[in-house]
């Protein structure tokens, strides 16, 4: 509930004031909040401050994504977002491990370290990254015509580029399916292995992190010649296999095989969707676009556990996985059709521009 307005506010501020300043101000606020938490005893007030710190981070997030889009071009953007994703996952693997070690006897240190890492990251941005909002006023080449600055509200831009709306709605389905990694899979593991469920799921989570760290560069290199729509289609196919197979067979080995397959799919999807959004978004509206579209797509993560929880009341775990597989087949087909639609629109645009240039020449 807090992240929704935070993201929208952050997107607007990133487009109208500054990318760099918004990151520095609100990430610093989050770090200071963590320092305050470090000197509090566990209570609901501590929980509220954690929520406020997350809200500050939420305000800064659209500026982070916009800044990456500003300093890259379509040629190197996939690699840049891939590197960012890899760095995030290394932190995501180390952070919980360190937090788990500190939790029992050094609780306050968790928040002190969290504050220090946030401040160090913010300081590095302050020193090494230049403000990029002025780049939104630059002239782009014909190959980047969709990134040219435009006037008007974000809703006007979305109506003029409905392909972004279609894309977000399809990604809702992708995220609905992927959310079962954190909901249906642990239930399934616990059901199969009541005494070892949490231990096995923890091993699966660590395995997921290792696959991301070691295979992200390889997947990025192998798919670099494919457009982002096609990459996401490939990711959908891997989701179909990885998640859908659990509807037919499940054992320890199969759980690990499933995680490996859908994690490769996760890498493929994650390194592709942000560059795609950046390539189709006017530079003047990157902050707002990076706040609204992730909210639409993120609803899949929110409603996935809720919807599957209702289904589990009437169907078995295996049947539920099969339904997940069917939904993923449907979403993947829609993404493939969207790629075809985009190709048709690009050809029409080229023909229209060629005709206009011919008329001007004559």
Q: Tell me the residue range of the domain where 325 lies.
A: 153-361
pLDDT of 357 reads 67
d(CA 253, CA 358): 63
What is the pTM assigned to this prediction? 0.86
Q: Is position 135 within any domain?
A: no
- 231 CB-near residues (< 8 Å, 6+ apart): 223, 268, 269, 271, 272
Same domain? For 98 and 222 the reply is no
Q: Is position 145 within any domain?
A: no
DSSP annotation of 76: T
pLDDT of 199 reads 85
Same domain? For 160 and 11 the reply is no
Q: How many domains does the chain have?
A: 2
Q: Which of 66, 97, 130 is the last residue of a domain?
A: 130
Q: Alpha carbon of 207 to those of 25, 72, 233, 262, 291: distances in Å?
A: 36, 31, 24, 12, 31
d(CA 229, CA 249): 31
Q: Is position 138 within any domain?
A: no
pLDDT digits (tens), the chain, 362 positions = 788 899 999 999 999 999 999 999 999 999 999 999 999 988 999 999 999 999 999 999 999 999 999 999 988 998 899 999 888 888 877 887 788 788 878 889 999 999 999 999 999 999 999 999 988 888 887 778 888 888 889 999 999 899 999 999 999 999 999 999 999 999 999 999 988 888 888 889 888 988 998 999 999 999 999 999 999 999 999 999 999 999 999 888 999 999 999 999 999 999 999 999 999 999 999 999 999 998 899 899 989 999 999 999 999 999 999 999 999 999 999 999 999 999 887 777 666 666 666 777 76
Reduced to 3 states, what is the DSSP secondary structure of residue 314?
coil
pLDDT of 352 reads 63
pLDDT of 135 reads 85
Same domain? For 158 and 122 the reply is no
Give me the DSSP letters along 129-176. Answer: ----GGGGGSPPPGGGGGGS---S-HHHHHHH-HHHHHHHHHHHHHHH
d(CA 100, CA 110): 9
Q: Is position 200 within any domain?
A: yes
């Amino acid at each position: 509930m807090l992240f929704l307005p935070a993201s929208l506010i952050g997107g607007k501020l990133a487009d109208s004031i500054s990318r760099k300043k918004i990151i520095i101000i609100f990430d610093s606020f989050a770090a200071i909040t963590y320092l305050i938490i470090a000197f509090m005893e566990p209570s609901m007030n501590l929980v509220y401050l954690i929520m406020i710190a997350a809200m500050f981070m939420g305000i800064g997030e659209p500026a982070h994504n916009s800044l990456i889009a500003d300093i890259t071009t379509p040629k190197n953007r996939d690699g840049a977002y891939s590197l960012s994703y890899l760095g995030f996952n290394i932190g995501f693997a180390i952070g919980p491990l360190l937090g788990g070690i500190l939790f029992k006897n050094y609780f306050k240190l968790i928040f002190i370290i969290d504050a220090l890492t946030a401040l160090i990251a913010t300081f590095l941005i302050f020193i090494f990254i230049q403000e990029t909002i002025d780049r939104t006023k630059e002239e782009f080449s014909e190959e980047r015509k969709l990134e040219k600055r435009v006037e008007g509200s974000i809703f006007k831009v979305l109506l003029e580029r409905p392909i972004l709306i279609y894309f977000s709605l399809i990604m809702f389905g992708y995220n609905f399916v992927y959310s079962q990694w954190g909901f249906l899979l642990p239930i399934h593991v616990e059901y199969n292995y009541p005494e070892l469920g949490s231990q096995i799921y923890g091993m699966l989570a660590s395995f997921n992190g290792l696959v991301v760290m070691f295979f992200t560069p390889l997947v990025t290199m192998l798919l670099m010649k494919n457009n982002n729509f096609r990459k996401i289609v490939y990711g959908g196919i891997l989701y179909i296999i990885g998640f859908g197979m659990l509807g037919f067979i499940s054992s320890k080995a199969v759980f690990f095989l499933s995680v490996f397959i859908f994690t490769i799919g996760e890498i493929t999807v994650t390194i592709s969707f942000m560059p795609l959004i950046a390539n189709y978004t006017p530079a003047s509206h990157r902050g707002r676009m990076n706040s609204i579209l992730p909210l639409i797509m993120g609803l899949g993560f929110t409603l996935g556990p809720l919807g599957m929880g209702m289904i589990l009341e009437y169907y078995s775990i295996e049947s539920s996985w099969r339904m997940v597989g069917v939904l993923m087949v449907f979403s993947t087909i829609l993404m493939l059709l969207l790629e075809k639609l985009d190709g048709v629109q690009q050809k029409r645009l080229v023909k229209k521009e060629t005709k206009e240039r011919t008329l001007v020449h004559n």
